[in-house]
A and B are shown apart, each in its own frame.
Chain A
Amino acid sequence: MDFPLLAFSVFSTIAILGSLLVIFKKNPVSSAFALVLVFFAFAGLYALLGAHLVAALQILVYAGAIMVLFVFVIMLLNQDEPVHDLEATGVIYRVVSALTVTALGAILVRAVLASKSMTPSGALTDEKIASLGGNMKAISEQLFTDRVFHFELTSFLLLGAIVATVTLAKRKSRGEEGEV
């Protein structure tokens, strides 16, 4: 067995097992740690595809920042005994969730079957990237020239989110002051 295939098998196994752990672990903190494992495995898969920048950003942003925030929030919340009693939920709830999961699974299977090969394809082949001077340069060039509109649009979206958060937080604190 050659090295990429071996590495792929290892990382994908970790990713799948980690995802299962995320769902089936009863403790939210354990789930969060399992999710970090999944992100790490994903980063490994990206690195195998030669997308080192995406791999680094995956770990830096998702595993290193967002999940730390998640764990922070979970630990701060004083959670009671988690509710895992499926019997308590209604029939409609169960039917709807089953249907949703089936539909999502069908879409996933369809997508996998429709893709012709498992290797990356598109305008940016490995040789093209190398000629552009590496992942970093290739992505940066694209991001700040052709895709600058999308880039700015995303930043507006984030700005909107920040403004909304600040507004919500401010309103709540003012309400508390009023009560006092």
Chain B
Amino acid sequence: MLAQRKPSLLNRLYLIEVVRGLAITMKNFLFHKKVTLQFPEQRRDYSGRYRGQHYIKSVNGVENCTACMLCPTVCPAECIHIVAGEREDKEKYPIKFEIDSLRCCFCGMCEEACPKDAIKLSNIYEMSQKNRTVYEKDFLLEQRGNK
């Protein structure tokens, strides 16, 4: 059982406590720093290791990816879908590279697994879309958020 503590008469009178409470709210109203961040204009600084929207790193317009299939293997959400192909110079490359952004859990395992430093997670966190989005290869190659 809870301890029954009888408050003092002044406390039970309640009025003084009410006035003190009013003083606190008024102090907050007038002087306290407001914590609201006005989003589109002001932005919060995120850590450089923040895992946001994906991109595939490319050098001179050629993607680093060699379609080694390590990232779809390691992906716990199984959201990466790669179709491998052969380029003119017998180099392996992804014909299709799709990431289902709704399935992705942004764990960053693909980034860890990639031997070619191809797939990366950027700092971009505004990823709202108007439809169910699968990131296509062209989209991923736009070097959005490349540091």
Q: Is A in direct contact with B (CB under 8 Å) within the complex?
A: no
